[in-house]
Amino acid sequence: MKILVGVKRVVDYNVRIQVKPDGSGIATNGVKMSMNPFDEIAIEEALRIKEAGHAAEVIAVTMGPKVAQEQLRTALAMGADRAIHVETDDDIQPLTAARIFKALCDKESPKIVLLGKQAIDDDNSQTAQMLAAISHWPQATFASSITLDGDKATVIREVDAGLETLSVDLPAIISADLRLNEPRYVKLPDIMKAKRKTIDTFTLDELAVEPAPAIKILKTSPPAKRQAGIKVESVDELVAALKEKGLVK
Amino acid sequence: MSKVLVIAEHDGTTLNGSTARAVSCAKELGLDAIDIAVLASDGCSVSEQAAAISGVNTVILVENPANEHAVSALLAPQIEALSDGYSHLLAPSTTFGKDLLPRIAAHLGAPQISDIMRVESARVFDRPVYAGNAIITVEAPEGIVIGTVRTASYPVAENGGSATIEKRELSVELPSHTQFVELSSGGGEGRPDLQAAATVVSGGRGVGSEENFSVIYGLADKIGAAVGASRAAVDAGFIPNDHQVGQTGKIIAPDLYMAFGISGAIQHLAGIKDAGTIVAVNKDADAPIFEVADFGLVGDLFQVIEELEAALG
Ligand SMILES: Cc1cc2nc3c(=O)[nH]c(=O)nc-3n(C[C@H](O)[C@H](O)[C@H](O)COP(=O)(O)OP(=O)(O)OC[C@H]3O[C@@H](n4cnc5c(N)ncnc54)[C@H](O)[C@@H]3O)c2cc1C
Ligand SMILES: Nc1ncnc2c1ncn2[C@@H]1O[C@H](COP(=O)(O)O)[C@@H](O)[C@H]1O
């Protein structure tokens, strides 16, 4: 069986982003870009499923500009077998991303599609659920454990109330949460080997994907800043300050 | 006539407070009516609680044994059937709403606006991106407007309403591909709910171990606070996942947030931006948490908590 994995190129999670003064977006010139951390976890999980003998092939998928192939190379170096690049310079919103994944599912017939729980640039947390909807497949989002058993997967999900367990029939869409695993480090020889692996490229037209109605971004602003506070020297001073504000008795 | 349908979150007996927060957001849309959808196996008590929220016109109750647990693949087709005639569809941006709403939106062919934090007009909204380090103002395209509501941005709408409760039978086919197995709660029973509490005491990696976390619980119990944690504390197994605060955990807005042994990574700060007062205790004077703390105290958290317990009698 095949596993399809989403790999989105995003601003690295360690970068302190800057909003452009003209409100047109955030500054990305010279900013470090990486694979979305949740996608790294998704790739790692797919590889572990393959290494446990449950899958034959792991296919990494990205949608974005030409440079997004860097992140596909990382996925290939981690161990993905091949990659698909859906090339576009347009902003791909979740519903369109879901339609593209659906077109690729129709082509590749994977048993599992593993996506990240959210992309840390737009923080939407929608694509997996939308893909599941339009495929009429089960969804198990925010996964912290996946166990395969024949044509079913048992998934433990991180929800507000604790941990929820679902059993889903395959094929299914699963989205990875932080505690699903710890991704492996890429070793130099793997990077060399990855260079020989295939990346197939498609356009939206070639996949016959119609972009979905999009949300228009009117402007980008910096968040309201919190007033800088003070350092107190002692617990007594802290307690006095909190009592004065009526926050403790 | 334009009206909004708010999807209720509940556990079978109690309406989750996030629903009344979503109603507060719905009120700002300035539409002709606000309705709430309650999908349950036995929804009498939940629908009565929903009907008591002021400003709500109609509570639509759909009872079906399949609705005993909130499984999105089963709820989505039912809500799609109810959505006809609504201009807006809202759900709280909790794990419930985040899981469910995109599934509905995609079927309806509409994009979703996640984490609405401000309503500019019935189609224009503010929402955070990059862990809250930028805010985008977005406009929904033509058609039904679908969005999740960032609960920390809205107060719980008051009670005092008396909406009509309307029972609805739906004839939609529900899939059998998804089975609920179990829900295990992380404990913390008896303590205030992290997302609703006025005071939250939180511990990070600096707390050191699961056993040491008892000092965090001790202080929380003394002052009637809920208990939170950083991702590092959860990953290390000090405390269950449902206590995680931050970009990928819970976004909260207590009156008082006290962080012990938490460095203040941007992903953690994303969860506490709306807290009234932030107190940080850290032995490292350069920890970034001090940049956002209203009151910072440099010191050993164990000693500080001991003194705090004494001072608070
Ligand atoms: C995609 C992504 C999403 C993330 N989402 C979240 C999220 O939702 N929530 C979250 O919290 N993190 C999140 N993180 C992780 C985040 O980046 C940090 O790694 C994490 O918040 C660090 O936790 P910490 O502050 O407890 O640990 P550390 O950064 O290790 O800090 C521990 C602190 O404790 C102090 N300390 C140690 N001992 C004592 C003592 N005895 N007394 C006083 N102080 C002491 C130290 O000085 C230090 O500042 C995410 C990361 C990624 C990549
Ligand atoms: N442009 C993209 N390329 C590849 N994967 C994507 C893309 N957009 C979204 N995804 C996948 O969908 C997940 C959730 O994204 P989002 O719904 O935008 O938060 C990501 O973690 C990816 O796995």
Residue A190 and residue A78 in contact, taking contact as beta carbons nearer than 8 Å: yes
Short-list B70, B72, B67, B104, CA closest to B88: B104
Name the residue at shortest CA distance from atom 11 of ligand 2: A6
User: B207 is written with which tokens?
Assistant: 């707390």
Mean pLDDT, rounded, for B181-198? 85
Q: How far apart are the C-alpha atoms of B256 and B240, rounded to whole Å?
A: 22
Q: What is the pLDDT of residue B189?
A: 65
Structural domains in chain A (count): 1
What percent of chain A has a predicted confidence (pLDDT) above 70? 100
Q: Chain B: give the shortest CA distance to residue A120, in Å.
A: 6
Q: Chain A: give the shortest CA distance to residue B35, in Å.
A: 24
Q: For all residues of chain B together, what is the average pLDDT?
A: 96
* A142 at interface of B, judged by CB pairs closer than 8 A: yes
Pairing type for strands A162-169 and A152-159 reads antiparallel
Q: How far apart are the C-alpha atoms of B180 and B198, rounded to whole Å?
A: 33
Q: What is the pLDDT of residue B265?
A: 95
Flag whether pLDDT at B170 surpasses 80: yes
In a domain, residue A249? The reply is: no
Which band of pLDDT confidence, cut at 50, 70 and 90, is reported for residue B185?
confident
Measured from the CB, is residue A86 less than 6 Å from ligand 2? no
Flag whether pLDDT at A67 surpasses 90: yes
Between A16, A19, A132, which is nearest B103 by CB?
Answer: A132
- What is the value of ipTM here, to two decimals? 0.95
Q: What is the pLDDT of residue B307?
A: 96
Flag whether pLDDT at A228 surpasses 80: no
Q: What is the pLDDT of residue A96?
A: 98
Q: For all residues of chain A together, what is the average pLDDT?
A: 96
- B226-229, strands of its sheet edge to edge: A230-232, B295-298, B277-282, B256-260, B199-203, B226-229
Amino acid symbol at B298: V
* A236 at interface of B, judged by CB pairs closer than 8 A: yes
* A179 at interface of B, judged by CB pairs closer than 8 A: yes
- Convert the pLDDT of each residue in B52-109 to its tens digit: 999 999 999 999 999 999 999 999 999 999 999 999 999 999 999 999 999 999 999 9
Q: Cα(B252) to centroid of ligand 1, in Å? A: 17
In a domain, residue A245? The reply is: no
Q: What is the pLDDT of residue A63?
A: 98
Q: What is the pLDDT of residue B14?
A: 95
Looking at chain B, which residue has its C-alpha nearest residue A124?
A: B114
Flag whether pLDDT at A44 surpasses 70: yes
In a domain, residue A81? The reply is: yes
Q: What is the pLDDT of residue A26?
A: 96
Which band of pLDDT confidence, cut at 50, 70 and 90, is reported for residue B187?
low
Query: b or e along A58-77 (b: 16 or more beta carbons within 10 Å of the residue's beta carbon)?
Result: bbbbbbbeeebbebbbbbbb
Closest ligand 2 atom to A5 CA: 23
- Convert the pLDDT of each residue in B118-168 to its tens digit: 999 999 999 999 999 999 999 999 999 999 999 999 999 999 999 999 999
Which stretches does DSSP call E strand in chain A?
2-6, 9-11, 33-35, 57-64, 82-87, 112-116, 139-149, 152-159, 162-169, 172-176, 199-202, 216-221, 230-232
Q: How far apart are the C-alpha atoms of A115 and A45, rounded to whole Å?
A: 10
Nearest ligand to the C-alpha atom of residue A175: 2
Q: What is the pLDDT of residue B1?
A: 81
Superfamily of domain B199-312: TPP-binding domain (3.40.50.1220)
Measured from the CB, is residue A141 less than 6 Å from ligand 2? no
Q: Cα(A5) to centroid of ligand 2, in Å? A: 10
In a domain, residue A246? The reply is: no
In a domain, residue A103? The reply is: yes
CA A150 to chain CA mean position, Å: 26
Query: b or e along B95-115 (b: 16 or more beta carbons within 10 Å of the residue's beta carbon)?
Result: bbbbbbbbbbbbbbebbbbbb
Mean pLDDT, rounded, for A96-118? 98
3-state helix, strand, coil in chain B (%, to 5): 30, 30, 40
Does the predicted TM-score (pTM) go above 0.90? yes
Considering only CA atoms, give the Rg of chain B: 21
- Which residue is it, tokens 């001072």? B311
Report the residue count for chain B: 313
Q: Cα(B45) to centroid of ligand 2, in Å? A: 39
Structural domain harbouring A125: 2-221
Q: What is the pLDDT of residue B43?
A: 82
Beta bridge pairs of residue B222: none
Q: How far apart are the C-alpha atoms of A204 and A99, rounded to whole Å?
A: 10
Name the residue at shortest CA distance from atom 18 of ligand 1: B265
- Convert the pLDDT of each residue in B244-259 to its tens digit: 999 989 999 999 999 9
Contact A218 B141 (CB under 8 A): no
Beta bridge pairs of residue A113: A4, A173
Flag whether pLDDT at B188 surpasses 70: no
Chain A residues in contact with B182 (beta carbon < 8 A): 164-165
Three-class SS state of A52: coil
Contact B295 A245 (CB under 8 A): no
* A223 at interface of B, judged by CB pairs closer than 8 A: yes
* A238 at interface of B, judged by CB pairs closer than 8 A: yes
What percent of chain B has a predicted confidence (pLDDT) above 70? 99
Q: State the CB neighbour count (10 A cutoff) for residue B41.
A: 12
Between A121, A139, A236, which is nearest B72 by CB?
Answer: A139
Q: What is the pLDDT of residue A249?
A: 83
| Ligand 1 mutation pick, B115, B215, B230, B250, max ligand atoms within 8 A of CB | B230
CATH 3.40.50.620 corresponds to the domain B3-167: yes
Q: Chain A: give the shortest CA distance to residue B170, in Å.
A: 19
Q: Chain A: give the shortest CA distance to residue B49, in Å.
A: 20
Q: Cα(B247) to centroid of ligand 1, in Å? A: 13
Positions of CATH 3.40.50.620 in chain B: 3-167
Contact B183 A144 (CB under 8 A): no
Q: What is the pLDDT of residue B190?
A: 77
Positions of CATH 3.40.50.1220 in chain B: 199-312
* A39 at interface of B, judged by CB pairs closer than 8 A: no
Q: How far apart are the C-alpha atoms of B227 and B245, rounded to whole Å?
A: 10
Flag whether pLDDT at A104 surpasses 90: yes
Q: Chain B: give the shortest CA distance to residue A198, in Å.
A: 32
Q: How far apart are the C-alpha atoms of B61 and B68, rounded to whole Å?
A: 13
Which band of pLDDT confidence, cut at 50, 70 and 90, is reported for residue A188?
confident
Secondary structure letter of residue A184 according to DSSP = P
Residue B264 and residue B292 in contact, taking contact as beta carbons nearer than 8 Å: yes
Q: How far apart are the C-alpha atoms of A212 and A95, rounded to whole Å?
A: 6
Which band of pLDDT confidence, cut at 50, 70 and 90, is reported for residue A225?
confident
Closest ligand 1 atom to B229 CA: 11
**What's the CATH code of the domain at A84?**
3.40.50.620
